[in-house]
Amino acid sequence: MPSRLPAVTQPVTTAPSQGASHDTTALLRGATASTYADTVRAVADDIAARLSSVTQPFSGASRGELQSLVDAVDLDGPPSGTREALRETADLYATHAIWFHEPTYAAHLNCPVALPAVGAETMLAAINTSVDTYDQSTVATLMERRLVEWTAGRIGFAVDGADGVFTSGGTQSNFQALFLAREKARRGGARLESMRILATAVSHFSVAKSALLLGLPDDAVVAVPTDADGRMSPDALAETLVDIERTGDTVIAVVATAGTTDRGCIDPLGPIADLCDAVGTWLHVDAAYGCGLLVSTTRRHLLSGIERARSVTVDFHKSFFQPVSSSALIVRERPDLAPVAWHADYLNPQENAEPNQVDKSLQTTRRFDALKLWVTLRALGADGVGAMVDAVCDLAAAVHQDLATDRDFRLVGTTDLSTVLFRYEPEGLDPERADALVPQVRRVLFDSGRTLVAKTVIDGRPCLKLTLLNPDATLADIRGVLELVRSAAHGLLAGEALADTEEPPCRDVHPRLARAEGETR
């Protein structure tokens, strides 16, 4: 749809303030307060109009069409003024953005965002706080620390001993956790070349990526076998720990996942914690997806044992309905964060007693993203957020039941959260043809813009994936998505234009993992 922002036919020029040789009227300050209000209101009106009229998650424009639109913008051209620049950009970006709030968006771990958080985003962008040192952030630092305490309490850590910091996302949180584990092992005498990280083949790719960035050897990440649904096997973990001890190598961390990206399954955290405690190994729980269960009133028990972890990743922008980015790393014991600290005389001298968050973070300049969660909790309450988490899990369970009785589809596995894995596989369809249909169906649907679904590989076979994170979506909405899948598959089988597969149907999830998912030892 065209932007509702008023068009400006001539470039906007305004005289600079008296005595100045440059124009500051486009800067946010006291003298431009009314212009700020008008600007934000115009953008809000435009987005509101789009929200009320959008009927599908994507425009369907091709990559070539979008590239042409982007290339047509002359970034070195004459300035057009704020209002015209925003109008032009809305027509480009907002028109062709992916709208996660649409019920037929079901591809990835993206959620609709809570309105209180959107309001907070406006506030923090205008004030532009950097939460690195106290003298740049003051009350923002104290608010973030309070939210870290709140999250630690929800995990089950002792609030007076735990600590943490907000991050850009789960990848950064996982990297920092493994850095802390590496430093603990290194200071204990372990050599880099002997360090090993135990995870499963379906753990997030950031585990293998972190090992690479931390300078560990290519075989540092060892895949622990899983059960049929991809949950880490405690028996296999026990055997792997013994095997590695025999080699003289050092397990610096075990990474358990509370919500795998594809299956949405939660590793058995209690038994894994027992084994880690027995050998004194760092347990990190990647709860980027499953952290919403911390506020669930019906499923909190699925995270039993998370309180025994040494560190936990939480992604509020996945399961707490927050705008990107909003994530955190929480550690059970405050001293574990010490290896991150670095002192600069101009910023945070060592003798400075102020509460500087930069002492805990891999980042220096950092947005006050915690404000969004703060406002959301104050507006909706933890139970309100938890009810929405339960709603998407309930929806996924209902879709699983539907697919289990549909003769055209084959349900692939189960979930603890809100993902649905399935294949279009009616009776008589050759399995290899069903394999080829997966990327083709996904591409046809993406190109139409009517619905977005994902694809992945499970047990060597490609399948389609629904990631349900919209509490506003209904079973009827998702049944509609499945009908679009069925229709696309029927059309492709009938000989309509076939989309090329984008990649080989089977690939290793982690090239650096030493063992494949489910492999017996």
How would you write the pLDDT of the chain (521 residues) with one tens digit per residue? 666 666 554 445 555 555 556 888 999 999 999 999 999 999 999 999 999 999 999 999 999 999 999 999 999 999 999 999 999 999 999 999 999 999 999 999 999 999 999 999 999 999 999 998 888 989 999 999 999 999 999 999 999 999 999 999 999 999 999 999 999 999 999 999 999 999 999 999 999 999 999 999 999 999 999 999 999 999 999 999 999 999 999 999 999 999 999 999 999 999 999 999 999 999 999 999 999 999 999 999 999 999 999 999 999 999 999 999 999 999 999 999 999 887 665 555 666 667 888 888 888 899 999 999 999 999 999 999 999 999 999 999 999 999 999 999 999 999 999 999 999 999 999 999 999 999 999 999 999 999 999 999 999 999 999 999 999 999 999 999 999 999 999 999 998 544 444 443 333 333 333 333 333 32
Pairing of strands 327-331, 311-315: antiparallel
Q: Domain map of the chain by residue range?
A: 128-380
Q: How far is CA 423 from CA 68, 144, 436, 466, in A?
A: 35, 44, 11, 11
Cα of first residue to Cα of last residue in the chain, in angstroms, is 57
Contacts for 181 with CB less than 8 Å, ≥ 6 apart: 197, 252, 253, 282, 284, 310, 311
Annotation: CATH topology of 128-380: Aspartate Aminotransferase; domain 2 (3.40.640)
Q: What is the rounded distance in angstroms from the CA atom of residue 195 to the CA atom of residue 514? A: 14
- Burial of 293 per CB tally in 10 Å (0-12, 13-18, 19+): buried
Largest CA distance in the chain: 81
Tell me how crowded residue 66 is: count the other CB atoms within 10 A of its CB: 13
Question: What pTM value is reported for the model?
Answer: 0.90
**CA nearest neighbour of 163 among 400, 340, 413, 407:** 340
